[in-house]
Amino acid sequence: MTLIDDSDGANGELAEGELVAERYRVIRVLGRGATGTVYEAEHQWTRRRVALKVLREGLSLNERVVSRFLREARVCAELSHPSLVAVLDMGQDEHDGLLFLAQELVDGRTLRAMIDERAPMSEAEAIDVIEDIADALGVVHDAGLVHRDVKPENIIVCPPDEHGRARAKLIDFGIAREVDRDSTQTRTQLGALLGTPRYMSPEQARATGEIDARSDQYSLAVVAYECLTGRTPHEGESTPLVLASLLTQPAPAIESVRRTITEPVASAVMRALSASPAARHDSVRAFGAALRAPVARKRRALAPMVGLGSIAALLSLGALALRPSEAKPRTTVDAAPVDAATARAQDVPVIPPSIALDATTLSELAPSPAPLRRAPPARAARVVLAQAEADSGAPPTPQVARPVVEVSTDASEPRSALRPAVFTTADASAWLRPASVR
């Protein structure tokens, strides 16, 4: 049903509270079209709200109009898809002979109202709508049908559900036509111009009868173009001017109208707007997939980055946890030369003059790591190392090692895993052996 101005003749319409077929009570008018009026109505037995499409009284005797109306009911009843409005009932009122069609009542706004309010729309929002309709049209085409009137007025966008999904639905199959599965020819009479000029495909505007599913793809691309730019590819002050532009001029490049449109989206739309049906996407579903592809690639590209970021954060936290609370003082020694006799008498640690000791040196000398042990309270670290010159055979000049930083003897403080080496002066040959660790 094409929604038009409310001032377009309300004569012959049903009044609020009237019953249709003794089971649908009229609540209010939802929209008016060339062949009928759509009401919000309530089923008297189930209390279910429906969209009741009633054929105008004067058209009930027009065989062609009635045939088209009944075809719409049959087409919608045969198809099932979340983005297609479901047919619930149809019939004829016994008293006045009015034909009616009861459909799912969709809570939402027409895409036309959304475009008029805030076009151009964002790429993400426009792609969501077009992809839904592309999927719905795919089901229509699989059934051997062509909608032939895809436009913003025939698309309703529902409010977001509990998952944040705003579903778009395709309505009004009043001029849908069956397509011979063995041919691209429709069963309509040649020369019959049906549809809305601004959204027609070139082959539909020529009224040659060579209409197939690719015509709906072109119309959907026009809708996408308008969502993204706020205008249609071919415009004019009258129907003849629109048709003349459509049949003689290619669609202006969408990026020339809105420069911020990404290249993959622009390419997908312009391919679907090709004047030649053979140059368009293989199917309307392929068109929807081409629009969605850059969004899917962006999400796939972000996923590993998010994963790496999480890993880096965990490693950072681990490094902070392993970092010591405060720096440990290094123990260094300051050497002063003494004679060997004094060293033996005082039983002090001695080292050769060429060696300076700290914690790093001790760790390099240790043969293997050992478990942490606590130092005895009354004992300080004693380290004695020796080195002799092989050619002279004489012991080196001993030196006294005085600690610059005292080593804590508090039993509560852990000590190094290394135990001090002890230099024995009883045998000079011991100077030639590596220090031992106890």
Same domain, 432 and 336: yes
pLDDT tens for 16-58 read 999 999 999 999 999 887 778 999 999 999 999 999 999 888 7
pLDDT at 362: 44
CATH code (residue 43) = 3.30.200.20
Same domain, 337 and 279: no
- Which has the minimum average pLDDT: 62-76, 97-111, 191-205, 390-404? 390-404
Task: Give domain status of residue 134, yes or no.
Answer: yes
pLDDT at 132: 96
Q: Which of 63, 79, 105 is the last residue of a domain?
A: 105
Q: Which of 105, 136, 153 is the last residue of a domain?
A: 105
Same domain, 129 and 219: yes
Q: Which of 105, 139, 160 is the last residue of a domain?
A: 105
Same domain, 155 and 8: no
Same domain, 239 and 337: no
pLDDT at 292: 87
Overall average pLDDT of the 59-65 stretch: 81
Task: Give domain status of residue 238, yes or no.
Answer: yes
What are φ and ψ of residue 268, in 5° steps? -65, -45
Same domain, 128 and 205: yes
Cis peptide before 197 (omega within 30 of 0): no
Task: Give domain status of residue 184, yes or no.
Answer: no
Task: Give domain status of residue 64, yes or no.
Answer: yes
Residue 254 vs residues 180, 221, 267: alpha-carbon distances, Å: 34, 11, 9
Query: Residue 416: is its pLDDT beyond 60?
Result: no
pLDDT tens for 154-208 read 999 999 888 888 899 998 876 666 654 333 333 344 445 567 899 999 999 998 7
The dihedral built from the CA positions of residue 156, 269, 257 and 149, taken in this order, carries a sign that is negative
Same domain, 331 and 351: yes
**6 has catalytic annotation:** no
Name the residue with higher pLDDT: 83 or 180. 83
What confidence tier does 300 reach under pLDDT thresholds 50, 70, 90? very low
Task: Give domain status of residue 94, yes or no.
Answer: yes
Task: Give domain status of residue 188, yes or no.
Answer: no
Indicate the pTM of the whole model.
0.62
Q: Token digits for 67?
A: 């045939």
Same domain, 206 and 284: yes
Count of domains observed in the chain: 3
Residues spanned by the domain of 231? 108-179+194-305
Same domain, 16 and 69: yes
What confidence tier does 247 reach under pLDDT thresholds 50, 70, 90? very high
Task: Give domain status of residue 437, yes or no.
Answer: yes
Same domain, 210 and 138: yes
- Dihedral of the CA atoms 305, 306, 312, 314 (nearest 10)? -160
Same domain, 100 and 164: no
Same domain, 90 and 200: no
Query: Alpha-carbon distance 294 to 264, whole Å?
Result: 7
pLDDT tens for 405-415 read 444 445 454 44
Sheet with 155-157, strands from edge to edge, namely 109-110, 155-157, 168-170
Catalytic residue among 149, 172, 212, 216: 149
- Three-class SS state of 89: strand
Task: Give domain status of residue 187, yes or no.
Answer: no
CATH code (residue 208) = 1.10.510.10
